[in-house]
Amino acid sequence: MSEADTKLYQPDAETAKSAYVAGMEAYQALVAEAEADYEGYWGRLAKELLSWKQPFTQVLDSSNAPFFKWFADGKLNASYNCLDRNVENGKGDKTAIIFEADGGEVTKVTYKDLLERTCRLANALKAQGVKKGDRVVIYIAMSIDGVAAMQACARIGATHSVVFGGFSAQSLRDRIEDTGAKLIITADHQVRGGKQLPLKAIVDEALSLGGCDSVQKVLVVKRSGAGVAMTEGRDVWMDEALAGQDAVCEPEWVEAEHPLFLLYTSGSTGKPKGVQHSTGGYLLHAALTTKWTFDLKDDDVFWCTADIGWVTGHTYITYGPLALGGTEIVFEGVPTYPDAGRFWKMIQDHKVTVFYTAPTAIRSLIKAAESNEAVHPKSYDLSSLRILGSVGEPINPAAWEWYHQHVGGGRCPIVDTFWQTETGGHMITPLPGATPLVPGSCTLPFPGIQAAVVDETGKEVPWGQGGILVVKKPWPSMIRTIWGDPERFKKSYYPEDFKGQLYLAGDGAIRDAKTGYFTITGRIDDVLNVSGHRMGTMEIESALVSCTELVAEAAVVGRPDDTTGEAICAFVVLKRPRPSGDEAKAIAKQLRDHIAKEIGPIAKPKDIRFGDNLPKTRSGKIMRRLLRSVAKNEAVTQDTSTLENPAILDQLGQAY
């Protein structure tokens, strides 16, 4: 794109004047401050944004790099910072959470309510034997209880690990085993899109698969009341566990580096990794990015539509907005129930001012709105909105423009926030009152974050040239390690190729030749992004080949998809002759169900192709780049001279 067709959207006058970071000079001043005195900058912000029980004397400890420590001799408590201090500052009666259930019922809780609920839950956890340093797995849907459960863990220094409610029993089991959790918090059911789905039964199944001997208790929230099996001595109804618990619980003051949570995410190998986050550095960036990227003010109503099972829900539901004493929406349901106008109706009903969602949701709502005026944003009053956000995957310019025009009424800046589970919070993002916007670009690094685009040797490439996205300096909310596997942490994020000096994000990027703006060009490893859900191709391949009665070999690649961003395409060699027609359809269904059981429905391939073999080099290596072309139904233009069996490409190109 030439300079002339790059359309810049300037911040609106109102936001540019009143924002915490007002104007590009203000942004540049912060960048300069961090450059001049990196530790001084982060130290200043850590004192301003967080309340410390014991102040820190050292900001950054690099003595054991890349295992960096931030504010290490300081002590604090995350739940104190999110709850008590707001009550102490006169916000006790302010609404903390507006919860809207799947069916539309609304429940509001104030900061005082949420503090009491968290304290009773924290006391209940203690009564069940949970102590500082123990792990607690949380497998629950979007709910006030879910947020309170995370806060309660933080309050007593237990490390939580939330598992998204869409993961299967097998995936849940793997995570329970890896964390060595002592206790699980779940609910009888979850309700989404008018349907009641099991949670407790999946926990039972996970525990029955073995390897979960660490688990002593399961606390069960009653959501449906529809009745579930309870195991004597192990399972306890939350109501009973809470009965008689005191509404006051002294926070456990933990060291800043104390692990606040583990969150599992996919990498390029089969086994998901437990990303470990700290208390102090993480909370600082959660609060700071919520403040600057969303310009969150006292009278805002903030809505992040992510699930607490993902990092976005951790940082921008459970921690960031509450640390700032904000008011936020927690939504149990799905964007398309009872119809695809649900988001717009909720924005209208609750007068949401800052709205943060994923491109995949926007794209599917565009489709719905185009065929049904009643669910088009123009049929709702969205005038309360002032800032829009996007997260999880690249937002294509057409979706950006629609979001800007139809949801934001052409008035609201869109912050396209690039970050990852590992980064804890925003890394590259516009600031709404400062950064001129370009659709499809996440623009510039958050002040203090030193992002760069480099070549394979770690040397910065000129603007205008694509390369590998890295971060040059450690930052407070960075991943601390992979739980139980520090070597994998080093290898994955501080590889030898870069002499262990640069954080490797795993994404490609390019900076605009004129403005230096970043555009993310997608993962450079075997990680897919389907509807904003991150999945490893190897993980899906392992799930396929674990169907031992059917599958001999499998290879999985991603393919661009208009709605989901990327779609999963699996190439499968069966242990029986290559099927066609109805038989192929039936086997494909069987394989999809198998994957849903092994990982979860989100990992089901959109496309399954059967072959007598896979395209391999003479040394037996599967040539995935060829499979990517086949998946796109493109003619293979790459060099196939090293291919052992070129004819296989034609066969795999055919749908059954």
Stretch that binds ligand WT7, among 96-104, 122-130, 207-215, 386-394 (CB under 6 A): 386-394
Convert residues 219-258 into a mask of x (bound to ligand WT7 by CB under 6 A) and - (unbound): ----------------------------------------
Q: Does the protein bind ligand WT7 through residue 394 (CB under 6 A)?
A: yes
Task: Give min distance, CB of 580 to ligand WT7, in A.
Answer: 36
The CA distances from residue 330 to 305, 360, 643, in Å, are 8, 19, 52
Closest to ligand WT7 by CB, 490 vs 523, is 523
Beta-sheet strands, E only, within 62-155:
69-70, 75-76, 95-100, 106-110, 135-139
| Phi, psi (rounded to 5 degrees) for 91 | -100, 15
Q: Does the protein bind ligand WT7 through residue 506 (CB under 6 A)?
A: yes
Q: Which residues contact 220 (CB under 8 A, 6 or more apart)?
A: 186, 187, 188, 200, 228, 230, 235, 236, 237, 238
Task: Give min distance, CB of 527 to ligand WT7, in A.
Answer: 7
* One residue of 143, 293, 417, 477 binding ligand WT7 per CB under 6 A: 417
* One residue of 268, 336, 379, 420 binding ligand WT7 per CB under 6 A: 420
Q: Which residues contact 556 (CB under 8 A, 6 or more apart)?
A: 528, 537, 538, 540, 541, 544, 568, 569, 570, 571, 605
Q: How far apart are CA 108 and CA 94, in angstroms?
A: 10
| Phi, psi (rounded to 5 degrees) for 566 | -125, 150
* One residue of 421, 443, 481, 531 binding ligand WT7 per CB under 6 A: 421
Report whether the peptide linkage leading into residue 338 is cis, meaning its omega lies within 30 degrees of zero: yes
Stretch that binds ligand WT7, among 145-153, 158-166, 201-209, 419-427 (CB under 6 A): 419-427
**Helices then strands (H, E): number in the chain?**
21, 30
Residues in a beta bridge with 481: 276
Q: What is the DSSP letter of 88?
A: I
Two structure tokens written together for 104: 């539309």
Q: How far apart are CA 639 and CA 646, in angstroms?
A: 11
* One residue of 110, 276, 529, 564 binding ligand WT7 per CB under 6 A: 529
Stretch that binds ligand WT7, among 190-198, 236-244, 336-344, 505-513 (CB under 6 A): 505-513
| Residues within window 155-214 making contact with ligand WT7, judged by CB under 6 A | none
Q: Does the protein bind ligand WT7 through residue 261 (CB under 6 A)?
A: no
The answer to whether 565 and 393 have CB atoms below 8 angstroms apart is yes
Task: Give min distance, CB of 461 to ligand WT7, in A.
Answer: 19
Task: Give min distance, CB of 414 to ligand WT7, in A.
Answer: 11
* One residue of 111, 356, 380, 418 binding ligand WT7 per CB under 6 A: 418
Report whether the peptide linkage leading into residue 359 is cis, meaning its omega lies within 30 degrees of zero: no
Amino acid residing at 104: G
Task: Give min distance, CB of 174 to ligand WT7, in A.
Answer: 17
**Which stretches within 450-508 are classed as H helix?**
486-493
Q: Does the protein bind ligand WT7 through residue 393 (CB under 6 A)?
A: yes
Q: Does the protein bind ligand WT7 through residue 539 (CB under 6 A)?
A: no
Residues in a beta bridge with 536: 527
Task: Give min distance, CB of 275 to ligand WT7, in A.
Answer: 8
Q: Does the protein bind ligand WT7 through residue 534 (CB under 6 A)?
A: yes
| Residues within window 299-358 making contact with ligand WT7, judged by CB under 6 A | 310-312
| Residues within window 433-452 making contact with ligand WT7, judged by CB under 6 A | 442
Q: What's the length of the chain?
A: 656
Stretch that binds ligand WT7, among 104-112, 392-400, 405-413, 593-601 (CB under 6 A): 392-400
For residues 323-346, one letter each, b for 16 or more C-beta atoms within 10 angstroms of the residue's C-beta and e for the rest, the string is bbbbbbbbbbbbbbeeebbbbbbb
Residues that bind ligand WT7 (rule: CB under 6 A) add up to a total of: 22
Stretch that binds ligand WT7, among 15-23, 200-208, 418-426, 495-503 (CB under 6 A): 418-426
Closest to ligand WT7 by CB, 269 vs 645, is 269
Nearest to 592 by CA among 630, 551, 534: 551
* Sites of contact with ligand WT7 (CB under 6 A): 265, 310-312, 391-394, 416-421, 442, 505-507, 520, 523, 529, 534
